[in-house]
Structure 1
């Protein structure tokens, strides 16, 4: 069998990994949208690197757009098989993909209104109707259930602890009478996460496809998340009378922020301000998370005994329509605005950054991983000026980051994820979802732990297993 890499290869976006068997069966692990790669992004999202109609099955690790965001395009271009996922992943994918289609249509409309004479018209990658056709192909599989696709192919989902519904995928494939076990980590969460349970252990694998986003780092912020948030709110909004803008993914990160702010209120420390969540998607995702309380860790379940709504507090308001969102730009009072997307390359948050970035009173807080070429990544790297909607803006606002809020495990978390694996029995580890410098450092660490064949595949590269 062959394993080829068509996304998240020496980058952290566009997750797509293809297993091809000798009988022509094609199993696609994830089908993610490329994000935050500058001028390359559009080109990479146009071409899968394989024929969509040739794919037999899709197994989806979780609902983040960089893992599921090209599924509607795959379906529109000929894929007609099942998409296997957990139930929460299907619930989240529905709202995320519909939102993605809507954002693409809005962005295309905006860009076409400001088209230069020499430029071609912009079109969305897929429509809302494509999304509906895609969701109809989902088949729900429970955690820890051995599901047999056919007599030669089976798999198990284990909880990856990354976001609601996230799973690592563990395949057993029999070919020519020989069984091969392949594990794909998806995105590995944190041990000791604010909200979710720890990643589960898994049985011995022959080959492991492992994410490596923070493979060279440790999430060791000097203060707990809620304390860091309190200090930034106090300095920006109370002392400087400015706005705190937080780009945050609608699924996972936004809920962690709301939980931390609610914790401040429970301790009577939350400043008396308006707190806006400017993302209709975030409201829907928060409601879905409330419907799956079984995913919470024991600490959160303890808090729920004294506070039944852990995502609500005084001053919180969810912004629904575009008019309300635009009105925030004219809001003179200090406030906190949480808005998607997390890398600040699309969605309403780009407009909020555009309208606050040149004022020293304001702060832009990055609370998760940001691809270096994304707007959030450029701000974190110290850029003095940035392009937003084709215009140049000088960075005068205070730029801060809070790495401990990342839903991706750090180096120690990734190593702990592999604890139950005997390195001598793992034939190869393929590092994906990371940038080369980080992956090289992590590969060295893995080799020191006894994993002797660690590979960093490039985009489109194929290997015989």
Structure 2
């Protein structure tokens, strides 16, 4: 048995790990590399470490684009096998992969336009796949629930365990009868590990009897400032913002973060801990994702599950308005009165939040509340770092609005929580391999793991392979 590291090795994006066992090839995740436009395009358009047609099955841990985003391209280039996922992951992929195709089309048009403007004579770049390719790949999905074993290739049985990261996220457990050495092995790929005590989701489920652990290391060496639930701080931030007399703008990821906010606001209104005022979700993708959340109660924790059957809808309340059309979105900038406006994207790099910021970030009565991580060089990071003037849609705008940030909504386990996850994972764990982390983070987690147990801890290297 051998594993090849084809992505998310030395970085946190483009998750792809190819497992060879019993003459078959199982691809764990098929994520899209996300980075600078041209660099990402060159990395994603080909599969340099394997032939798509030679892959027998894909097992998908969850729907985030850095884990699922290159599946349409894999199918386009010849993969014909099954794509195994949970039901919720499949439904989110149907929404997110089509959106990824549209974004690629826009980005390629931008690159080609800029090359021509700069006099750079290069062939035009093109999307790695179309919306039609995204639709076609969905036909190969095979969906199974948590804790339901299913054979995927000869001698290998797959079971999904809840990872508590986003809706439908799973730890990938493979029970293997290795015909080369005659041994039985339990291989666990952590996927992305959730923090636990999530507003919506169940805690990560401890998996027993693990022999080989392929584990993410995104937050190695880093700790969240706030616990995973900090409703009091959130409500206080909203109240303080409203005291200024303006509106609250919340840049939020369309999947998971927006739904967390809606549930929290719904509960706060029911309990009377926040004043009643309009809440607008201005993101077509977030609206679509919220509809998917409603049909997957199997992913909810007990509190939300009970709320669902008691109040009927955790994500809908009288003050909520879901905005779909461009005209409705534009009208928000002309309305009077206080309101909370939730809009994508969370890092303020695209989407309708850009127009809201352009129209409103210069008003000191308004508040921009960040509830997630913003990567370096993004507009969101510039605002959070205190820039007095920021570029939005090609123009400079003064930042006079009040800026607040919270990190309690993060869906990623931090350093201490990753160690707790490791300790709860049962079995000998005789072989531990770290992936999905920048070098500094992975080294920090590897060092901590070596201090607490004697088994070897390896760090995956892009393009390398390891015999298991």
TM-score, normalised with respect to structure 1: 0.88
Residue of 159, 165, 169 corresponding to 1:166: 169
Equivalents in 2 of 1:435, 1:381: separation in Å? 22
SS of the aligned residue for 1:405 comes to coil
- Corresponding residue number in structure 2 for 1:116: 117
SS of the aligned residue for 2:311 comes to coil
* Deviation of 1:320 (Å): 0.7
Indicate if the aligned counterparts of 2:195 and 2:228 stay in contact, CA closer than 8 A.
no
- Corresponding residue number in structure 1 for 2:61: 61
Unaligned runs of 5+ in 2: none
Change (3 A) 1:55 1:125: same
- Corresponding residue number in structure 1 for 2:280: 276
Equivalences for residues 357-396 of structure 1 within 5 A? 357-381=361-385, 388=392, 395-396=399-400
- Corresponding residue number in structure 2 for 1:245: 249
- Corresponding residue number in structure 2 for 1:298: 302
Equivalences for residues 2-41 of structure 1 within 5 A? 2-21=2-21, 23=23, 25-37=24-36, 40-41=39-40
* Deviation of 1:38 (Å): 6.5
Equivalents in 1 of 2:143, 2:344: separation in Å? 27
Deviation by residue 1:6-60 (Cα, 9 ceiling, x = unmatched): 322232222211223473x321111112235566433332333333222221100
Change (3 A) 1:395 1:13: farther
Change (3 A) 1:229 1:65: same
Indicate if the aligned counterparts of 1:7 and 1:13 stay in contact, CA closer than 8 A.
yes
SS of the aligned residue for 1:403 comes to coil
Residue of 189, 205, 211 corresponding to 2:210: 205
Residue of 208, 216, 220 corresponding to 1:215: 220
Unaligned runs of 5+ in 1: none
* Deviation of 1:253 (Å): 1.2
* Deviation of 1:411 (Å): 2.9
Indicate if the aligned counterparts of 1:184 and 1:210 stay in contact, CA closer than 8 A.
yes
Equivalences for residues 394-405 of structure 1 within 5 A? 395-405=399-409
Indicate if the aligned counterparts of 1:13 and 1:433 stay in contact, CA closer than 8 A.
yes
Is 1:85 aligned to residue 90 of structure 2? no
Q: For this pair of structures, how many residues does the alignment match? A: 462
Residue of 226, 231, 250 corresponding to 2:236: 231
* Deviation of 1:305 (Å): 5.5
Deviation by residue 1:259-312 (Cα, 9 ceiling, x = unmatched): 111111012233343322112222222222211223222222343465222212
- Corresponding residue number in structure 2 for 1:455: 458
- Corresponding residue number in structure 2 for 1:427: 430
- Corresponding residue number in structure 2 for 1:138: 141
Change (3 A) 1:90 1:180: same
Is 1:436 aligned to residue 435 of structure 2? no
Moved more, 61-70 or 104-113: 104-113
* Deviation of 1:332 (Å): 5.6
SS of the aligned residue for 1:404 comes to coil
Residue of 310, 318, 322 corresponding to 2:322: 318
- Corresponding residue number in structure 2 for 1:262: 266
Change (3 A) 1:215 1:418: same
Deviation by residue 1:71-125 (Cα, 9 ceiling, x = unmatched): 1111112222110111111111111112222333345556667762525655333
